Structure 1
Amino acid sequence: MSVERNNHRTAIAFSAIAVIVALVAAFATTFERVGTRKVDNETPPGTMGLAKPHAPLDRAPDQPISGH
């Protein structure tokens, strides 16, 4: 009976060590990819936003769409 308890303790200890190693590895790889750049709301000079300009419409907004 003592041998079975010792085997269970050994298995639990190895499992706990494996979980701890996996958590440390996940923690290290997560923080390796995190950028430490400063974020602010100011845009660089000369930028007007992320959208690209669209071509002008062929009609006024209140005119109906005409079929060709």
Structure 2
Amino acid sequence: MSTERNTHHTAIAFFAIAVIVALVAAFATTFERVGTRQVNNETPPGTMGLAKPHAPLDRAPGQPISGH
């Protein structure tokens, strides 16, 4: 019975070590790929918020769309 118990504890210990190694590897690769660019809050001229400016429409609002 004690041999069976030691085998069980050994398997759990190996599994725990494998999980710890996997977590350390995941953190190392994640931090390696993190960008360190500086963020700028200023928007380019002509933009409002995150939207990009669009070209003006060829028609006035309420005017029907003409088929080309």
Q: CA RMSD in A?
A: 2.5
AA aligned to 1:54 is A
Partner of 1:42: 42
Distance across 2 between alignment mates of 1:56 and 1:64? 12
| CA–CA distance in structure 2, aligned partners of residues 63 and 25 of structure 1 | 61
Q: Distance in 1 between matches of 2:39 and 2:28?
A: 23
Mapped pair 1:31 → 2:35: no
| Unmatched tracts of structure 2, length 5 or more | none
Aligned residues: percent identity? 72
Q: List per-residue Cα deviations over 1:7-49 (Å, max 9, x = no partner).
A: 00100000000000000000000101101111121257xx655
TM-score (norm 2): 0.72
Gap runs ≥5 in structure 1:
none
